Amino acid sequence: MMLTGIGIIQGKMTTDQQTTEQLTPDMERTIFHVDMDAFYAAVEQRDCPEYRDRPVIVGADPQGGQGRGVVAACSYQARKFGIHSALPISRAFRLCPDGVYLRPDMKRYVGVSQRIREIFHTYTDVVEPLSIDEAFLDMSHAAHNTDMALEVARSLKATILKEQRLTASIGIAPNKFVAKIASDIEKPEGLVLVSLPEVQSFLDPLAISRLWGVGPKTESKLVKMGIKTILQLRHYDKEILIERFGRLGEHLRKLSNGIDQRALVVQREAKSMGHERTFAEDVGNIETLEKTLKLLCEKVSERLCARGLAGRTVALKLRYSDFKTITRQTTFPQPVESADHIYPAVHRLIRKFRDPKQRIRLVGVSVSSLETEADRGAQQMKLF
């Protein structure tokens, strides 16, 4: 089944922050929510083989059942004892006194998290990190239908597993909130895709607590009104909902109808300027690749000039037919902005690094280490 309408944006490949914001609100999208499975505990089990098959509980010191504080994360073996994150550590200890209790090693987890984020960025530039172990990825440009979306998701999971020996669950949906629910449904190692026509039937039977904005207070209020499922909320009288909950009522009605048009929040500054192109069919012919790259260089140059920017680093991105993506870059001693400088660099990179045995699905060019004319002026001033 197609995620309706996603094919429309094929071929119009631009990726940096500016373009993300220009997405029209009602454009159909392919959003991934990637959530690492039992992240802290999984990192501990990965790094310490004797923990692999054991209930591992990361959190406060249990102090033999007297400890204060809570469970931060626990392995799936620990969940069998009824332990879950946010449970008081003393209670966890009573449920499973023989578990492996560890204090969080945040520095190590942050390091792993950063490497996983780098993997995300080899798939898309539009990444919204939600926390240390989960993020939204806008994959609309790479996945034009559900088969492609699933293929990309499997590839992403396999890459994380290969490079970090950790598992992730992925939810795929036309918007953020449905994707987030979907990633949770089949944890661990889940992969759930909810296509646009399936959104409503996916949501309807779920408990209202699944909706963003429904905390314990709102939940008990809704339950008193006889609303337990998303279907019941959706059918409830609109006026009464808005009268009792105000703007929240309006928001919940939208969500229960599967409507969530929020764009991904990409916090990174636009530190680079780039253009990409996904081919309708994978390309092996070097002349075609070079012709496309030349065009991309001209577009990048145009935009740099329009903003009075120039950059010292020129990067080439290649995505092969199996989704493996490489980026190779070269740095100039002086910032450049003209296609006459950018293209020869890109040309050298593709001649040097392309694997000619493989076909290519996407090429991209970007210029980074950007400077404005004012920056350059200031640097020249410093020289004096």
Closest C-alpha to 262, from 128, 115, 133, 120: 128
Distance CA 176, CA 138 (A): 9
Of 166 and 309, which CB lies nearer to Mg ion in the complex structure? Answer: 166
In whole angstroms, the minimum distance from the beta carbon of 31 to Mg ion comes to 17
Q: What is the layout of strands, in order, in the sheet containing 71-74?
A: 71-74, 56-59, 100-102
Quick check: 77 and 19 in contact, CB under 8 A? no
Choice between 35 and 44, CB closer to Mg ion: 35
For the CB of residue 184, give the shortest distance to Mg ion in the complex, in Å: 9
Q: Least CB distance from residue 139 to Mg ion, whole Å? A: 19
Residue among 21, 44, 128, 134 flagged as catalytic: 134
Write the CB contacts of 229 (distance below 8 Å, at least 6 apart in sequence): 204, 205, 206, 207, 208
Cα–Cα distance measured from residue 170 to residue 36, given in angstroms and rounded to the nearest whole number: 9
Task: Kindly tell me which of 153 and 339 has the beta carbon lying closer to Mg ion.
Answer: 153
In the numeric block, which tokens belong to residue 169? 């669950």
CB of residue 189 vs Mg ion: minimum separation in angstroms? 12
Amino acid at 270: A
* Three-class DSSP category at 279: strand
Q: Could you say which DSSP state residue 8 is in?
A: G
Q: Which is nearer to Mg ion, 136 or 323 (CB)?
A: 136
Catalytic annotation present for 163: no
Residue 33 or 54 with smaller CB distance to Mg ion: 33
How much is the CA Rg of the chain, to the nearest whole Å? 24
Least distance (Å) from Mg ion to the CB of residue 42? 9
CB of 35 vs Mg ion, minimal distance in Å = 4
Between 35 and 138, name the residue whose CB sits nearer to Mg ion. Answer: 35
What residues line the site for Mg ion (CB under 5 A)?
Answer: 35-36, 39, 133
User: What's the Cα-to-Cα distance from 28 to each of 126, 188, 266, rounded to whole Å?
Assistant: 15, 28, 18
CA distance 354 to 58: 44
d(CA 282, CA 288): 11
Q: What share of the chain is helix, strand, coil (3-state, %, to 5)?
A: 45, 25, 30
The residues that are catalytic are: 134
